[in-house]
Amino acid sequence: MFKRLRTAFAAATLTVATGAAAFEPAAAPANTYVVQSSDTLWDIAGRLLQKPWQWPQLWQVNPQLHDPHLLYPGDVLSLAHDERTAVAGRLQPGPRQQAPIDAIALSEVAPFLKNLRVSDSFETLPYVVALEDNRLRAVAGQLAYIADLNDTRPGQRYAVVRPSVRFSLPRLNQDLEPAGEPIAGSGHLWKHYAAPGPRRETLGYEMVQVNLGTITHVADGHNQVATLRLQDSGQEVRAGDRLIAVEPIAYDPHFFPHPPTATAAAADLRVLAVADAFTTGGTRDVIAISGGTREGIDNGTVLSIWRPAQRSSDRIKRSRFSRPDDATRRLPDEYAAHALVFRSFDKVSYALVMEGIKPARVGYALKHPDAR
């Protein structure tokens, strides 16, 4: 399911700086800039500083804007970079008649905020054991019968979720059946990535929300299952789908661009998957990365994506009659793009590719955005 969601929002518009600009000196800016309704924090910082993750520098010279997380259309920003040229005293905040702007357009990532999560396991979750009238699929208005659903009551709402892929290192990621079993022949959809060193672990299971429902009857001495009436016009529900309680606030919709922590920058982070693609993605594609809150990654963390170093044959030293040990040369890592994390879990995070000069691929490394 991860690979099929991009098409719902790939056409959304997001203006960003070019990839080449991330490595070129910034042109001399004007003294002030008026925030536009079409702007994003990434857009503004990329245009004015050439490094969107250094956005806090603008707030240091714009104290008239009291909340750095709330920037509104009409706000006037000073572009001064030292106290002598700061003009904050005569700049005024803009009108508060429109919604504040965010780091990125929410339409770019909405399906991943609302409908996806990563869990360490799912085997103990309540599950759909059967459907009304022995159906193979059920939709809104129909009933699903739930096994192992304890401590519930009529009226309680649940999300129906389905395991779609297992993220793991260094083994292949695996596509999963609704019951959680690997799909026969799976693995060809995801490029193999072997992590260096002894690291070997399952990073989590991607769970896709397919529907919502409300409990109408609970299990009792007569009926061994609970009854869930489906209410959402989303995907069809199947036997084997799992249930989790609906969370009032399941995600944070605000992202404030910032560099990674020292722990995250030093970690061996890799691109695990690309939405709606086999191994390669570009600007405005969503990627899954092999790090999360345990590495200090949170919403707004900015990382750069790099093609790992390759080895190339030295044709001068290598000949038909001579094959010395040093006949190959290690090439440097190659910068591909920048990405902004918009949702993080324990061991996996989702990030949006913001701009780049070449495609990002599964297995590419992630580093500090200022890496060279």
Closest listed residue to residue 362, CA positions, set 117, 172, 165, 199: 172
d(C-alpha 257, C-alpha 69), whole Å: 10
For residue 254, being part of any structural domain is answered with no
Residue 256 belongs to a domain: no
Q: Given 219, 245, 271, which residue is the final one in a domain?
A: 245
206 and 305, same domain (yes or no): no
Q: Are residues 123 and 241 in the same domain?
A: yes
Asked whether residue 95 falls in the same domain as residue 63, the answer is: yes
Question: From first to last of its 372 residues, what are the pLDDT tens digits of the chain?
Answer: 555 554 443 333 233 333 333 333 334 345 778 888 888 888 888 887 888 888 877 777 777 777 766 788 888 887 764 444 444 334 566 677 777 777 777 778 888 888 888 998 888 999 999 999 999 999 999 999 999 998 899 999 999 999 888 888 765 566 666 666 666 544 433 333 334 445 567 888 889 899 999 999 999 888 899 999 999 888 899 999 999 999 776 677 777 889 999 999 999 999 988 887 778 889 889 999 999 999 999 999 999 999 988 777 776 666 555 555 566 777 889 999 999 999 999 999 999 999 889 999 988 999 999 998
pTM: 0.75
Q: Are residues 23 and 99 in the same domain?
A: yes
Same domain, 206 and 268: no
Say yes or no: 138 and 232 in one domain. yes
What is the domain range of residue 135?
119-245
Domain boundary among 84, 108, 132: 108
Number of domains in the chain: 3
191 and 94, same domain (yes or no): no
Residues 150 and 69 in one domain: no
- 80 with 128, same domain: the answer is no
Q: Which residues contact 134 (CB under 8 A, 6 or more apart)?
A: none
Token pair belonging to 163: 């395991």
Q: Are 125 and 143 in contact (CB under 8 A)?
A: no
Q: Strands 157-169, 201-217: parallel, antiparallel or unpaired by DSSP?
A: antiparallel
Q: Using CA atoms, how far apart are residues 275 and 253, in angstroms rounded to an integer?
A: 20
In this structure, what token pair is assigned to residue 279?
A: 């191994």
Give the angle subtended at the CA of 128 by the CAs of 1 and 287, to the nearest 5°: 15
Q: Give the distance from CA 53 to its chain's centroid.
A: 17
Residue 202 resides in a domain = yes
Query: Helix, strand, coil: what percent of the chain each, to 5?
Result: 15, 30, 55
pLDDT reported for residue 32: 79
Position 257 in a domain: no
Domain identity same for 99 and 129: no
Query: Does residue 213 lie in a domain region?
Result: yes
